[in-house]
């Protein structure tokens, strides 16, 4: 199998490549995050070639990390794979046993019932908007949720009032966080992903700001010498 060839490749690189030899589990953390986001970007762009490449990179990095784990901790890839297979068979009794879970919702309820701590396993390094969504989803599965998007809308209005009142106080940081959390809740009720929405807004802002610079350049003006009201007027023109 090709996966065996990939394992052999990793073993060779660990022995013969100076850069690969010096890598550790900690040194590869950022590589893993980078590769994951590159895959997300490829998926969002619906770029099949890039998706295949990025999945390949993640597979390579996963095997590489397993090899480093084996060298540093003595935990073999074979044992790691065995535990992973056992874990996912246990999570799917409707597939490997006779338990009846006939819908995706039923499967999710089963998974959440088997968690000793509702919020256990949420990585602290997740982007905060994504983490907020997962936290809210897990609480909702236990019945702690609004019935519709009207609840989160009212909560956002409440949080904005509290934020205004907290300006120039020690509570402004906390109130701003509460407002963001409420916005994620609204996005969830609208079947939107807050992380994706903000990423799209970032791209839109960059695109429009570049157009402002292009317009100013066509008028032989530098952005540093342009007033905010003038840039706002160009911004509005671009929006229209």
pLDDT tens-digit readout, 71-118:
988 888 888 989 999 989 988 888 888 788 888 878 877 777 767 677
Question: Which tokens in the block code for residue 41?
Answer: 């970007």
- Choose the weakest-confidence range: 120-124, 158-162, 181-185: 120-124
Angstrom CA distances, 237 to 176, 207, 230, stand at 31, 14, 11
**Cut 0.75: pTM above it:** no
Q: How far apart are alpha carbons 227 and 26 in whole angstroms?
A: 47
The fold of the 2-90 domain, in CATH, is Helix Hairpins (1.10.287)
Please provide the average confidence, as pLDDT, over all residues in the chain. Answer: 90
Query: What backbone torsions phi and psi does residue 169 show, to the nearest 5 degrees?
Result: -125, 175
SS3 percent helix, strand, coil of the chain, rounded to 5, is: 75, 0, 25
143 vs 69, residue with greater confidence? 69
Q: Count CB atoms within 10 A of the CB of residue 182.
A: 21
Dihedral sign from CA coordinates of 211, 213, 219, 223: positive
Q: How far apart are alpha carbons 238 and 233 in whole angstroms?
A: 9
Q: How much is the pLDDT for 114? A: 67
CATH number attached to the domain at 122-192: 1.10.287.1080
> Rounded mean pLDDT of 26-31?
90
Q: pLDDT tens digits, residue range 194-216?
A: 988 998 999 999 999 999 999 99
> Rounded mean pLDDT of 142-149?
90
Cα-Cα-Cα-Cα torsion 216, 220, 223, 227, nearest 10 degrees, comes to: -80
Q: How far apart are alpha carbons 64 and 43 in whole angstroms?
A: 23
Helix, strand, or coil (residue 2) = helix
């Amino acid at each position: 199998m090709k996966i065996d060839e990939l394992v052999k490749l990793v073993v060779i690189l660990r022995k013969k490549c100076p850069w690969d030899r010096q890598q550790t589990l900690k040194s590869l953390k950022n590589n893993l995050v980078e590769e994951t986001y590159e895959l997300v970007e490829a998926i969002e762009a619906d770029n099949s070639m890039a998706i295949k490449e990025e999945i390949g990179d993640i597979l390579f990095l996963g095997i590489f990390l397993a090899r480093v784990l084996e060298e540093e901790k003595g935990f073999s890839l074979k044992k790691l794979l065995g535990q992973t297979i056992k874990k996912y068979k246990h999570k799917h009794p409707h597939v490997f046993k006779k338990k009846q879970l006939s819908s995706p919702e039923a499967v999710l309820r089963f998974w959440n019932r088997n968690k000793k701590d509702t919020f256990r396993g949420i990585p602290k390094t997740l982007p905060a908007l994504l983490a907020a969504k997962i936290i809210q989803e897990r609480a909702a599965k236990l019945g702690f949720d609004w019935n519709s998007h009207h609840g989160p809308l009212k909560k956002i209005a409440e949080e904005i009032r509290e934020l205004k009142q907290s300006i120039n106080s020690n509570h402004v940081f906390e109130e701003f966080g509460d407002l963001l959390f409420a916005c994620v809740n609204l996005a969830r009720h609208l079947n939107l992903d807050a992380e994706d929405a903000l990423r799209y807004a970032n791209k839109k802002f960059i695109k429009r700001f570049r157009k402002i610079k292009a317009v100013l350049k066509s008028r032989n003006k530098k952005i540093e010498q342009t007033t905010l009201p003038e840039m706002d007027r160009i911004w509005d023109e671009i929006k229209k």
